[in-house]
Amino acid sequence: MPAGKKFLALAALCASVLCAPGWSQTGLTTIQDTLFTADGTRFNGTLTIQWNTFDAGNGNTIVQQSKTVPVVNGNLLVELTPNATATPPANYYTVTYQSGGNQQYTETWTVPVTSTPLTVRQVRTGGVLNTSTTTSASPNTTLPIPESDVTGLVSDLAIRPTKGSAFGSNAVAIVDNNGVLETAVGQVGDCVMVDGTTGPCGAPTFVDAETPGGTLDGVNATFTLANTPSGTSLALYRNGLYQTVGFDYTLTGSTIAFAAGAMPQPGDTLTASYRVDPASAGTSGAAPLSAAVRTATSAQVLCNAPGITTGLGLWTTLGSCDIPASQLRTGDRIEVRFTFRHNGSSTGFDVRMNWGSTLAFARHGGVTDSALVGDVDAAIGASGALLTEESWGTVLQFLPAVLSVPAQNGVEVSLAASVGSSTADTVQLVNFTVLRYPSN
């Protein structure tokens, strides 16, 4: 065969078996695919590929340029320098599809290092853009974007407050000295001060018939009150007789100093009634509010919500509540109430409650039990919590229990359930409530 015919025959053979990848330059990645239009016909047109200057992983500097690739009968074949590890990062190839003289859409490609030809789907990093009205839109990225790829994001995140170990829900958040978010610690009904401390607020507290501290010996003239009276509210009585401020005594803070002629004698009775402004208690120069005049605290609802339903034969969490360390002070009490409903009559079911990392409660309900109810009461101590438990069902007998759990830096109370072999039965956490009874 003449040499010219041999060359033509070899070229035709290579075209039929796609020899082009064999001619690739070292370090290039091949993108080879068959493209279609929405009606199933093969795409005919051109792809304009644009890129900014970047340094490739092999050390070559790729200057900003563009490349036009023809696509005939849907066949696409192009070789590009990998940019998946380019410098600067997130350096995309911008690919514009054109057909019939019109610009159709634009997408972005990220090309990895590989010797295997890739399809367009394997290198596409952005969703399709409608460029009928603009050609400068940014890619509508559908894949996760690393934080480091967003200019300034990492540094901005570094200066924002973060959650501290005492951060919790359903409470006022404060920023501590380290710049992290914590939960304000105080009694239910307290006010949060600008420095993050808490104290009583609202209407003044009344103190009635208090006996001032001091020795009644006819010599001692100084007596003290448990709190600093608000304004001129102090009403002081000696043996039932009203004492006049500035004449019988003087008042400095919470200290009473009797005049010489009005000095209490042995056997006398002193009685003081006054108001205390809660807003001034605990502030600089003011004595903290005496526990004797604090009002009783009511229960604080930490979580109260319905749960979800499961029909699986494996443990599934149906509800949970995060309790920060600031809500677990020594002397506090946490109560967890919960109700599970069993739907169906083919199999039994199991429920459990975790107190942080400790399995605190577990019980099996029978086929005929349509509900299971429980109450777990946690007494918080310095070294952990003592849990008192009780539970019962519609058939299941009442069962009490006591369990000690170690101290933890914050606790997640989680309620879970699983169903037996029947896929028809389900278990629902109807609702659960987590209450906190703070110590005074």
Supply 357's token pair: 């990392």
Q: What is the pLDDT of residue 136?
A: 36
Q: What is the pLDDT of residue 420?
A: 83
Tens of pLDDT along the chain (440 residues)?
A: 555 555 444 444 444 444 444 434 458 999 999 998 888 889 999 999 999 988 888 788 889 999 999 999 999 999 999 988 888 876 789 999 998 888 777 889 999 999 899 999 899 885 433 333 333 334 443 445 667 656 667 777 777 778 776 777 777 888 877 778 888 777 666 777 776 777 666 656 788 889 999 999 999 999 999 998 988 889 999 998 899 999 999 999 999 999 998 999 999 999 999 988 765 554 434 445 554 444 445 678 889 889 999 998 899 999 999 888 888 888 899 999 999 999 998 899 999 999 999 999 999 999 999 999 999 999 999 899 999 999 999 999 999 999 999 988 889 999 999 998 766 899 999 999 999 888 76
Q: What is the pLDDT of residue 131?
A: 35
Segments of the chain assigned to CATH 2.60.40 = 18-147
As a whole number of angstroms, the distance between CA 293 and CA 296 comes to 9
Segments of the chain assigned to CATH 2.60.120 = 300-437
What would you report as the CA-atom Rg of the chain, rounded to the nearest whole angstrom?
A: 39
Q: Do 69 and 20 touch, CB atoms closer than 8 A?
A: no
Q: Do 110 and 139 touch, CB atoms closer than 8 A?
A: no
Strand blocks (E) in 312-383: 316-323, 333-343, 349-355, 358-365, 371-381
Q: What is the pLDDT of residue 132?
A: 36
As a whole number of angstroms, the distance between CA 84 and CA 57 comes to 8
The strand pair at 180-183 and 162-163 is best described as parallel
Q: What is the pLDDT of residue 291?
A: 42
The architecture CATH gives domain 18-147: Sandwich (2.60)
The strand pair at 173-175 and 102-109 is best described as unpaired
First to last CA, the chain: 106
Q: Do 86 and 59 touch, CB atoms closer than 8 A?
A: no
What is the reported pTM?
0.41
* Residue 11 neighbours by CB distance under 10 Å: 11
CATH code that applies to domain 300-437: 2.60.120
Give the helix/strand (H/E) hosting 105. strand 102-109
